[in-house]
Amino acid sequence: MLGIGKDFYAGTDQGRQRRGNEDSHFARRPLFAIADGMGGAQAGEIASRIAVSVFEHGLPDLPGSCEERLASLVQDANARIHELSRTDEERAGMGTTLTAAYLHEDELAVAHVGDSRLYTLRNGVIERLTRDHSLVEELVQEGRLTPEEAEEHPQRSIITRALGPEPHVLVDHFTRRVQAGDIYLICSDGLTSMVKDEQKLGELVMGSATLREAGQTLIDAANAAGGRDNITVVLFRIVEVAHGEPAVPVDTDHTMIGSGAPTVQQVRAASVATAVQNPSATEAARRLPRLPATGEAPKRRRGRKTRRVLRGLVVGALVVLPILGGAWIASQSVYFVGTDDQGFVTLYRGMPYELPGGASLYSVNYTSGVPIGSLTPKVKGTVTAHKLRSRDDGSDLVKQIEQAKLAGQGGGP
């Protein structure tokens, strides 16, 4: 008989550049989930928390397969988030990814929306089981971007499907037959955008003595690579369970390892095995434009080393600033059309590039009400090409898209 081992891991980390953590996760055998929220003013944190909270009472007692019941919970989460975003102005436009897995006997039911991911490691081989609902993955599927181009694409973090924006959402769901020894990894894009090599992810897990060590190693690797986003990792293992033991014990406790100190209420909530929520508040929007490094390094140990670093920075700045200044001035006279963090067609001033450290060479000039997902593939292609344009040209294009949308033509010139 198969079950889930006791040594599962669930942890989250703010990363090195965000000022809060908008990821949430749920880890109570036999059900595991990760949600990665988006939206300013803490809305992303709220969306992801609502998403994982739907698992608190397990699967609903409804007819249907585990897979269908799991997917119906994801629909419930969508409805709750959408309702709140509709009725609360401050939460308008919030959304979240959600990737959930539930073990029943020797089958793992999976439900998934967005760009958090589920991987399996079987016999030392890592395989991704979910497909990202992201702009770049769609373009890769259509053969218009190579996977390598997708990794460097300025809009790689735009997702095309999320819980919250619409009253109904299309949920990917499937069932997978598991084997003893399988390891499953669910993670937010804060891991996979920093450690892009999937083989490397597999090696880091396989090279660890325990899943706890593996989880911490993955988080450390994402931080070492820049830690530009919140990082959340869930790992569990399929094991043989002796007869007489419950195949899938229901946990009354779970691991909670994350950034920041949880509040008393959160510790208490965790100890009674409710949904695990990320412990810190946030105000950073999850998607474009990305925040530059916040520079919130510990203030201790200043002194000679700091001065030496400062001197180096001054010399470096004398050389680099005129070049950057020129690039900046040049960038401000051009425009391009793309999508914003919610996927709406947007006119940007500047160039579609980012400087090392995450500072971008563009700013929002105008955001339309037209979601990229509603456009025809041709128009979508025009929007995602990020061609440099004059201001008039760029705003004409956005206007045409808006007008075509109003006329019900599914978008575009």
CA proximity to 368, closest of 393, 388, 339, 331: 339
Q: What is the largest CA-CA distance in the chain?
A: 73
In this complex, which beta carbon is closest to Mg ion, that of residue 99 or of residue 382? 99
Rounded to a whole number of angstroms, the CA Rg of the chain reads 22
Name the CA dihedral angle for 15, 18, 19, 23, rounded to a multiple of 10 degrees.
-70
In this complex, which beta carbon is closest to Mg ion, that of residue 19 or of residue 122? 19
Q: Taking contact as CB under 5 A, which single stretch among the options 45-53, 137-145, 181-189, 295-303 is the one that binds Mg ion?
A: 181-189
DSSP at 389:
B
In this complex, which beta carbon is closest to Mg ion, that of residue 33 or of residue 347? 33
DSSP at 210:
S
CA–CA distance, 246 with 239 (Å, rounded to integer) = 12
Number of shown-chain residues binding Mg ion (CB under 5 A): 5
- Taking the complex as a whole, the smallest distance from the CB of residue 218 to Mg ion amounts, in Å, to 14
CA–CA distance, 394 with 407 (Å, rounded to integer) = 20
CA–CA distance, 411 with 413 (Å, rounded to integer) = 7
CA–CA distance, 238 with 240 (Å, rounded to integer) = 7
In this complex, which beta carbon is closest to Mg ion, that of residue 3 or of residue 95? 95
Q: Taking contact as CB under 5 A, which single stretch among the options 31-39, 60-68, 159-167, 404-412 is the one that binds Mg ion?
A: 31-39
Site string for Mg ion, 182-201 (x = CB under 5 A): ------xxx-----------
- Taking the complex as a whole, the smallest distance from the CB of residue 186 to Mg ion amounts, in Å, to 13
Q: Which of residues 48-107 bind Mg ion (CB under 5 A)?
A: none
In this complex, which beta carbon is closest to Mg ion, that of residue 45 or of residue 189? 189
CA–CA distance, 272 with 254 (Å, rounded to integer) = 9
Q: Which of residues 209-238 bind Mg ion (CB under 5 A)?
A: 229
Give how far the C-alpha of residue 183 lies from the chain's centroid of Cα atoms, to the nearest Å.
21
CA–CA distance, 22 with 35 (Å, rounded to integer) = 8
In this complex, which beta carbon is closest to Mg ion, that of residue 3 or of residue 227? 227
Q: Which of residues 112-141 bind Mg ion (CB under 5 A)?
A: none
In this complex, which beta carbon is closest to Mg ion, that of residue 229 or of residue 340? 229
What is the residue whose two structure tokens read 């920075």? Answer: 313
CB atoms within 10 A of CB 232: 33
In this complex, which beta carbon is closest to Mg ion, that of residue 36 or of residue 67? 36
- Taking the complex as a whole, the smallest distance from the CB of residue 22 to Mg ion amounts, in Å, to 7
- Taking the complex as a whole, the smallest distance from the CB of residue 15 to Mg ion amounts, in Å, to 9
Contact call for residue 45 and Mg ion (CB under 5 A): no
The burial of 44, by beta-carbon neighbours within 10 Å (0-12 exposed, 13-18 middle, 19 or more buried), is given as buried
AA letter at 149:
E
The burial of 324, by beta-carbon neighbours within 10 Å (0-12 exposed, 13-18 middle, 19 or more buried), is given as middle
- Taking the complex as a whole, the smallest distance from the CB of residue 287 to Mg ion amounts, in Å, to 8
- Taking the complex as a whole, the smallest distance from the CB of residue 190 to Mg ion amounts, in Å, to 5
Q: Taking contact as CB under 5 A, which single stretch among the options 57-65, 71-79, 143-151, 180-188 is the one that binds Mg ion?
A: 180-188
Q: Taking contact as CB under 5 A, which single stretch among the options 34-42, 294-302, 353-361, 399-407 is the one that binds Mg ion?
A: 34-42
- Taking the complex as a whole, the smallest distance from the CB of residue 34 to Mg ion amounts, in Å, to 10
Contact call for residue 36 and Mg ion (CB under 5 A): yes
AA letter at 314:
V
Beta strands across the sheet bearing 344-354: 335-339, 344-354, 360-371
CA–CA distance, 256 with 291 (Å, rounded to integer) = 27
Q: Which of residues 228-287 bind Mg ion (CB under 5 A)?
A: 229
- Taking the complex as a whole, the smallest distance from the CB of residue 292 to Mg ion amounts, in Å, to 17
- Taking the complex as a whole, the smallest distance from the CB of residue 53 to Mg ion amounts, in Å, to 19
In this complex, which beta carbon is closest to Mg ion, that of residue 48 or of residue 72? 48
Question: Where along the sequence are the contacts to Mg ion (CB under 5 A)?
Answer: 36, 188-190, 229
